[in-house]
Amino acid sequence: MCGVFGAFSKNGQSVLEDVYLGLYALQHRGQESSGMAWIAKNSAGCELRVTKGMGLVHLALDQKELSSSHSNCAIGHTRYSTAGGSFLSNAQPITANYSRGSVAIAHNGNITNATGIRRYLENRGAIFQSTSDTETILHLMAHQSHKPPLDALISALKTLKGAYSLAVIINNRLVAARDPWGFRPLVLGRRGETTYIASESCALDIVGATLVRDIKPGEVVVIDEDGEKSLLIPKETERKFTCAFEYVYFARPDSFLDGKSVYDVRKKLGQKLAQSAPCPEADMVTGMPDSGTISAMGYAEESGLRYEKAIVRNRYVGRTFIEPTQRVRELGVRIKLNPIGEIMKDKKIVIVDDSIVRGTTVQRVIAMVRESGAKEVHIRIASPPVKFPCYYGIDTPTSEELAAARMNIEELCKEIGADSLSYISVSEMLDAIGLPHHNVCTACFSGDYLNGGKDDELDL
Amino acid sequence: MCGVFGAFSKNGQSVLEDVYLGLYALQHRGQESSGMAWIAKNSAGCELRVTKGMGLVHLALDQKELSSSHSNCAIGHTRYSTAGGSFLSNAQPITANYSRGSVAIAHNGNITNATGIRRYLENRGAIFQSTSDTETILHLMAHQSHKPPLDALISALKTLKGAYSLAVIINNRLVAARDPWGFRPLVLGRRGETTYIASESCALDIVGATLVRDIKPGEVVVIDEDGEKSLLIPKETERKFTCAFEYVYFARPDSFLDGKSVYDVRKKLGQKLAQSAPCPEADMVTGMPDSGTISAMGYAEESGLRYEKAIVRNRYVGRTFIEPTQRVRELGVRIKLNPIGEIMKDKKIVIVDDSIVRGTTVQRVIAMVRESGAKEVHIRIASPPVKFPCYYGIDTPTSEELAAARMNIEELCKEIGADSLSYISVSEMLDAIGLPHHNVCTACFSGDYLNGGKDDELDL
Amino acid sequence: MCGVFGAFSKNGQSVLEDVYLGLYALQHRGQESSGMAWIAKNSAGCELRVTKGMGLVHLALDQKELSSSHSNCAIGHTRYSTAGGSFLSNAQPITANYSRGSVAIAHNGNITNATGIRRYLENRGAIFQSTSDTETILHLMAHQSHKPPLDALISALKTLKGAYSLAVIINNRLVAARDPWGFRPLVLGRRGETTYIASESCALDIVGATLVRDIKPGEVVVIDEDGEKSLLIPKETERKFTCAFEYVYFARPDSFLDGKSVYDVRKKLGQKLAQSAPCPEADMVTGMPDSGTISAMGYAEESGLRYEKAIVRNRYVGRTFIEPTQRVRELGVRIKLNPIGEIMKDKKIVIVDDSIVRGTTVQRVIAMVRESGAKEVHIRIASPPVKFPCYYGIDTPTSEELAAARMNIEELCKEIGADSLSYISVSEMLDAIGLPHHNVCTACFSGDYLNGGKDDELDL
Amino acid sequence: MCGVFGAFSKNGQSVLEDVYLGLYALQHRGQESSGMAWIAKNSAGCELRVTKGMGLVHLALDQKELSSSHSNCAIGHTRYSTAGGSFLSNAQPITANYSRGSVAIAHNGNITNATGIRRYLENRGAIFQSTSDTETILHLMAHQSHKPPLDALISALKTLKGAYSLAVIINNRLVAARDPWGFRPLVLGRRGETTYIASESCALDIVGATLVRDIKPGEVVVIDEDGEKSLLIPKETERKFTCAFEYVYFARPDSFLDGKSVYDVRKKLGQKLAQSAPCPEADMVTGMPDSGTISAMGYAEESGLRYEKAIVRNRYVGRTFIEPTQRVRELGVRIKLNPIGEIMKDKKIVIVDDSIVRGTTVQRVIAMVRESGAKEVHIRIASPPVKFPCYYGIDTPTSEELAAARMNIEELCKEIGADSLSYISVSEMLDAIGLPHHNVCTACFSGDYLNGGKDDELDL
């Protein structure tokens, strides 16, 4: 759950503002910290510079420094913690000047054998500055300082297991890399002489670039003054693992990932849900803002029920707005969501949401909606039950905290206080996504992991 | 365009967090500055305290001070500048300790004879600290220091022309006051022993209070340990002036103003629009996020056309996010709005918006939608043309800048690049609102002002 | 205990940096808050602007705003609270735009009838924004808005009792005013076409200006494009009240006040002390840093004893450096002062200080010096015992807290743990100062107040 | 030019405040950045924590975090840049968690073979986070991760050339280490159950500790629950290199370094100067504040001339107080120093300073003093001419910028505008210091470097 963005301009135009805007469009992928790194050319040659901070892009980055700088090669990152705690030292891009020059890395995903690699390198004298799994990539490169840096990067990538979509700067070159399984998305874009890489295509739109193609699983694209060069990391398997949860919840609806429109997938998920779990006696359909809205519209369309925007979201809700006092905890979701009572009074309501994780939000919303006078509340979830943790970069809780792992659907329905609760099946979800079924990772729904769900051992 | 909130607890419980939450729910009414004032009781008696700052509630207020304070009588304000420039000294509540005690005032609206009153008072030795029209109320009170402060307040209110919905603290009493014309909304709520006043009912929901009733035009409600007492400011006229633009655009959809649900009004506005300005050949309806969404749903429902959420809004858009460089200006609305091209490709689209003010946003969105491949773009506006400035607290531009004042509908349609453009009529709007027609202010649409649209002269 | 500075340039050169530097040189007169006000000329005419803040000059003032502004007429203030608490709203200059234009006032001193004036004005509708006595001057001016502002100022000054040395801006004129008793210093300086006013002459040195003369008691000097004009406030008495404590402690040694060198006075105070309170058996003389240093040198010179800088002061000591924990309180003065033990070992030491107020510092220093191995510690004070509070602007404590008011010299000697303790007499001090005896205020030593030591009643 | 401090308490008392106070007393050794590191014990075991920042101690350190923490083992650092630029990443202590645990290092001095070591380690995969020479020590330790950390530290120290006085935390032990030549000072102190290490003894005074002894050149002292253990780094030479400039200028006068009182040395330097370079016709002696004051007193005493504090220093002068505009540059030293004209008028003045580096300050002071009316100005320097750069931690400029390296004394006298200029000789200085001559480093005066003055080569 992170966003990466990179830009390289062949005609020397500064791309710093583009990267800033790109991160801004990827803010939904991470609000904990943000950072940018770039190559500044001055009389003394090239210098790698960086600005990082906690919080949203506009707070985290030093806008004064950015506006007084110029660079034709830059990357950026928005972070939602997966591996490594919530400290500034874990903010990305992570950077280093080593014997072969300057490197900066922005990483989306989660390296499953990072602990083993780290132990190996520390025993050989490496000093880690952060607890982030991303730093292992830098050290693997430095550990091969006899190779040219690009070779050292590819050699490092071969060592990694798990998920990584990377935007990298190596000595004034921009490099995009995606793990051989293609867990997390990564796209290539272009506007005039400038080439872009981004976690999602919506970040290309904001800078006026067009989507060229997705970076392929296992592909490394090197972008410099001479154009683009595509290299491939040798794969062990032909199976891909495109993350289903990106379509279900995580990506922005205006993005296209691996050729599929997220909006379209969500609408279809709602339609499938209406087919397999109808609720003909209901008076209206509404969506949990904002994640369930599009599927709710699909459900309404398919079922012929009326769609109402019956739950309003306070658009100024942020993460840090208020100290979590006892009173605030009691108020809970009411601080960000407010049902419009009048519409719901004495009505039978279908509420569509994208997924249930811990179950606390949906439970409180049902209570609120009942207080507002609704007669019946039927919950429809536009994905299968989430029963397994994700090891590839989505910040899901452990199994003990996952509501659908602790109880069956009937028990869960009772727990959250709904009149009925239905999900779609994994195969219905895969149909809605529309990619070949064996190329989609459904591990959090099915437990079907790349490697049996355990930490990978080191295999250098 | 401001929000006010106040709370008084009879059982001594602190209401500071409630006021904070209430302001949070009213953030849409003003993001320029925020403030709170409260009565702190300590060994030395009662003391009026205040925290104010520029920007959103959570940035503007000193949360440390609030969490270490206790008060059973507090008010707050979120400000979008109307009268007076954008300075901290104009942030509200404005406060003073004068010979009769402590006063704090939070004001929504615009006092049309403030300039005259100010000139009068300055000639008698008054020193104004701000350029805000609200400060005149304080000075009018101090000018009558021979009267008890509540009488001085009512005497001051009698002098005022124009719009004011006030939350006032006078020596440990909470006072709500609404001008005799009822321009701006003001509601009364209750939870247990605590009484609330708020610009909109959605702010009562967040603190778990129930809506008791609207404060009546010309009513002054005094809330203290002894309960509530209602007083009336003598009116010159029976006609009321409830602001139509609150329903059309300004209020939150989950609020009830003067007995009417804003959501319901907006849906009806869309339905009326579908009746009077249909577009039968269109393939789909979408709304301008977020202001046009509900009316668009009403339009789709009434017309039988498919509704799509085809334009996505970046939910992290804030006012201060980025320096307005040349590039950012060129990007314009693309930074906050992104059309989903695939859905629109080769389609005839109806876009519903709440209103057109300067016309720049709709023009750029039409261009973006056409670039995305739409075949036809039909604009439907769920209110009449805005042709006149507002003198009562909505921050509209001058007539020269109002698109619909400079040209007729045909010219405007051409200017913004639409295939067709339609509005509803004033009477259709009034029907949708559902209040008696002569009790609604439509001045910005019709030019029908309280006082002919000119600055009021002083009349002490 | 405040510093004021003002500058007016006839040739249009900006004086903002000069005022900043002047305040910097007057920092010793107040570290609680600082401020500057100036006339900014722009297309719309003249505008009064202000920057204020808590703390030292370089922290309190907005240097970015200052460096981007231009003004030929500016004043500034450094504040050590006398009347009014420690709040930003009490920081000076205080400013107002009233019916006759813009006024800014920076004030050193204390107006003894401020409370009465305030009560009078509040009953006539005035609203005070601060608790500072200085604001009464502004309101007295506004209260006479029928008069031209300069006449209103002089009329206001006639109403005041007590001490004031003022730097005032009135509509692009700079005005210096000193009360008829001349309590606090105020000097006039010049460099080229620029005229300066300052609390002390050391502030003229820093801007390269020469000292023209002292502003006379009761004089009002108006400085504008036409040059300087001197007016006189009618006096009730010929007796002056130049503050003796300025020479003893408060002013910088490189200043000249009312024609007398502070350095020279302090040296003479030490010499007189050596004559009247010798200590022939002592091995060395040292001064309490930094206030007693010069008198200690005078004492050593006159007595023939060796002078050593045996107590070292940490030059980075500031007011806010550390939270006052229990441990820090125990350490007390050791945090800022450190005796050099080796020098003092087995020696008989004379320590000269300027005065004893509460007696706590000298007590702790004596303990420290004894711990360092000194055999005898003799305290010599280069002024008479401070027994009475100051009502004219020096922030002395009440009589109960003044050590010399609570006990006689013998008791005090025992209390602080000295082997001997001596002061000089009031007449010796007056001889050292060298002004006519009846023109010096010795109230804090002698109780000889302007008005019997009580709050003055209002006399409009 | 840095200060280090460390504390370890055997009875579990927190030493964080002690370290804060110690740094405060060592502020004169570095104002660019400050930092503290400590071992925090919690349920999960021991954790190394750190707070660092730019600027003075009270600004740089997070006092809130410090006051809410508890630790019986902590170190701190105040930095004046020597090796490595002025960045936060170069602030100390530098810290790392490596395979053998946690290490934090605070370093005073300059490692002359750091560049070579760094190149060696980078070629073996090390990634440096800063440009500071201190980081090489950490990497040398990590490079020997097969050894216990204390052995790895000693092994690392053996590799180093140049100057280092270190305060180190290794896994809840405090370690003090001083290079075999003893360039920079380091002392051991004690108060009750707490042991301290400090750059200067004045920092022991502030925490109420007593000076136990100097850490010996080449000594490593390990302090933990079991008490203190002293180890020795094998030396190549018996010659020591105690820095003369510490006595001349850098250390605080209330410190004792290698058994000698700094105050006493400075006084003797002034006396020697009076003997070898008398000025019998002079009317008075004064010192350049504050560095020349004590030697000036020694000069006056020895010569029988009158001592006056004729140049006043603004005690609020800081490094960042004002933007260096053209005007400020012209004012130059006048902003911080002000001569008292009256005393100097028509007099022949001897000004004593500790040293001349670039010569600009003394030149401007002479000009100021002449403007004040002095008849003759004779400069006496209480050390030999500074002709060579320092490679051992004093931040002197290159030879081209050293005034005494560019010209002979006669030329320099003319350049600065003095009537006469005299220095003392190296052997007079050594006599005043009082240590065996061959144990004192006089490289900046004599060019007699440890290693011929060149960068040391790597010798692992």
Report d(CA A388, CA A366) in Å as an integer: 25
The residue out of C219, C238, C257 marking a domain boundary is C238
Cβ count near B148 (within 10 Å): 13
The pLDDT of residue D459 = 46
Q: How confident is the model at residue B6 (pLDDT cuts 50, 70, 90)?
A: very high
pLDDT over threshold 50, residue D145: yes
The answer to whether residue C446 is domain-embedded is no
Which of chain C's residues have a Cβ under 8 Å away from the Cβ of B91? none
Q: How confident is the model at residue D90 (pLDDT cuts 50, 70, 90)?
A: confident
Residue stretches of the annotated binding site of A for [4Fe-4S] cluster: 243, 390, 441, 444
Peptide bond into D289 cis (omega under 30): no
Where does residue B280 rank: exposed (0-12), middle (13-18), buried (19+ CB within 10 A)?
exposed
- The nearest alpha carbon in chain C to D211 belongs to C341
Predicted confidence (pLDDT) per residue in C153-164, tens digit: 999 999 999 999
The answer to whether residue D444 is domain-embedded is no
Same domain, B139 and B60: yes
pLDDT over threshold 60, residue B138: yes
pLDDT over threshold 70, residue A3: yes
Percent of chain B scored above 70 by pLDDT?
94
Q: Where are the alpha helices (DSSP H) in C36-161?
A: 57-60, 63-67, 114-122, 135-142, 149-159
B220/B234: higher pLDDT: B220
| Chain B CB within 8 Å of residue C50 CB | no
The answer to whether residue D186 is domain-embedded is yes
- CATH code of the domain in which A146 resides: 3.60.20.10
Predicted confidence (pLDDT) per residue in B67-106, tens digit: 889 999 999 999 986 556 677 888 999 999 888 999 999 9
Predicted confidence (pLDDT) per residue in D360-384, tens digit: 999 999 999 999 999 999 999 999 9
Look at B192-206, C291-305, C392-406, D197-211 and tell me which has the smallest mean pLDDT. Answer: C392-406
- Using DSSP's 3-state secondary structure scheme, residue A271 falls into helix
Same domain, B270 and B233: no
Q: Which two tokens mark A212?
A: 């060229």
* Under 8 Å between Cβ of C144 and C156: yes
Report d(CA D49, CA D38) in Å as an integer: 5
The answer to whether residue B454 is domain-embedded is no
Same domain, D45 and D163: yes
D-proximal residues of A, 64-103, CB under 8 Å: 96-99
Average pLDDT, chain C: 91
B-proximal residues of C, 108-137, CB under 8 Å: 119, 121-129
The pLDDT of residue D31 = 87
* CB nearest to B127's CB, from C123, C124, C139: C139
Residue B126: which residues within 8 A CB-CB, separation 6 or more? Answer: B118, B139, B142, B143, C98, C125, C126, C127, C142
> Cα–Cα distances in Å, from B8 out to B169, B218, D55?
10, 21, 47
Same domain, D34 and D183: yes
Predicted confidence (pLDDT) per residue in C52-81, tens digit: 999 889 889 998 889 889 999 999 999 986
Percent of chain B scored above 90 by pLDDT?
77
The pLDDT of residue D234 = 79
Predicted confidence (pLDDT) per residue in B181-190, tens digit: 999 999 999 9
The answer to whether residue B252 is domain-embedded is no
Peptide bond into C290 cis (omega under 30): yes
pLDDT over threshold 80, residue D321: no
Same domain, C15 and C76: yes
> Cα–Cα distances in Å, from B39 out to B13, B121, B168, C130?
13, 28, 12, 18
Q: How confident is the model at residue D43 (pLDDT cuts 50, 70, 90)?
A: confident
pLDDT over threshold 60, residue A51: yes
Percent of chain A scored above 70 by pLDDT?
94
* CB nearest to A320's CB, from B58, B205, B309: B58
Residue type at A55 in one-letter notation:
G
* CB nearest to D294's CB, from C301, C309, C327: C309
Q: Name the strand (E) or helix (H) holding B108.
A: strand B101-111
Same domain, C273 and C228: no
Residue-range definition of the domain harbouring residue A15:
2-238
Same domain, D82 and D127: yes
Q: Please give the average per-residue pLDDT across A93-121, as a whole number.
A: 93
Predicted confidence (pLDDT) per residue in A129-186, tens digit: 888 899 999 999 999 989 999 999 999 999 999 999 999 999 999 999 999 999 999 9
What is the per-residue DSSP string for B283-299?
Answer: SEEEE-TTTTHHHHHHH
Which of chain A's residues have a Cβ under 8 Å away from the Cβ of B24? 314, 316, 321-322, 335
pLDDT over threshold 60, residue B20: yes
pLDDT over threshold 50, residue D299: yes
Where does residue C41 rank: exposed (0-12), middle (13-18), buried (19+ CB within 10 A)?
middle
A238/B59: higher pLDDT: B59
Which of chain D's residues have a Cβ under 8 Å away from the Cβ of A96? 127-129
| Chain C CB within 8 Å of residue B413 CB | no
C-proximal residues of B, 137-156, CB under 8 Å: 138-139, 142-145
Residue type at A26 in one-letter notation:
L
Q: How far is C453 from chain B (nearest CA, A)?
A: 27
The pLDDT of residue C459 = 46
- Residues of A designated catalytic: 2
Q: Please give the average per-residue pLDDT across B377-384, as a whole number.
A: 98
Short-list C113, C111, C143, CA closest to C127: C143
Among A267, A320, A321, the residue to mutate for chain B (most B Cβ within 10 A) = A321
Q: Is C291 annotated as a binding residue?
A: yes
Global pTM reads: 0.86
Q: Is B354 annotated as a binding residue?
A: yes
The answer to whether residue C170 is domain-embedded is yes
Q: How confident is the model at residue D230 (pLDDT cuts 50, 70, 90)?
A: very high
The pLDDT of residue D323 = 58
The answer to whether residue D450 is domain-embedded is no
Same domain, D224 and D357: no
Residue D89: which residues within 8 A CB-CB, separation 6 or more? Answer: D129, D130, D131
Q: How confident is the model at residue C322 (pLDDT cuts 50, 70, 90)?
A: low
Q: What is the ipTM of this complex?
A: 0.90
When divided into structural domains, chain D yields a total of 2
Average pLDDT, chain A: 91
* Under 8 Å between Cβ of B220 and B214: no
Report d(CA C205, CA C189) in Å as an integer: 9
Q: How confident is the model at residue A459 (pLDDT cuts 50, 70, 90)?
A: very low
Q: How confident is the model at residue A189 (pLDDT cuts 50, 70, 90)?
A: very high
Question: Are the beta carbons of C202 and D312 separated by less than 8 Å?
Answer: yes
Q: How confident is the model at residue C453 (pLDDT cuts 50, 70, 90)?
A: low
The answer to whether residue A245 is domain-embedded is no
Q: Please give the average per-residue pLDDT across A396-414, as a whole number.
A: 91
Question: Are the beta carbons of B96 and C144 separated by less than 8 Å?
Answer: no
Same domain, C192 and C302: no
Q: How confident is the model at residue C28 (pLDDT cuts 50, 70, 90)?
A: very high
- CATH code of the domain in which C335 resides: 3.40.50.2020
The pLDDT of residue D432 = 98
Q: Please give the average per-residue pLDDT across A423-439, as a whole number.
A: 97
Same domain, D269 and D232: no
What angle do the packed helices B135-142 and B114-122 form, to 10 degrees?
40
Q: Please give the average per-residue pLDDT across D101-129, as a whole number.
A: 93
Same domain, A24 and A145: yes
C-proximal residues of D, 9-38, CB under 8 Å: 17, 20-21, 24-25, 27-28, 31
What is the per-residue DSSP string for B32-95?
Answer: SEEEEEEEEEETTEEEEEEEEEESSHHHHS-HHHHHT---SEEEEEEE--SSS-S-GGG-SSEE
A-proximal residues of B, 280-339, CB under 8 Å: 290, 293-294, 297, 301, 306-309, 312, 314-316, 318, 320-323, 325, 327-328, 331, 334-335, 338-339
Predicted confidence (pLDDT) per residue in B318-336, tens digit: 544 455 567 777 777 888 8
Q: How many CB pairs under 8 A join B and C?
A: 62
Same domain, A56 and A155: yes
Report d(CA A47, CA B407) in Å as an integer: 55
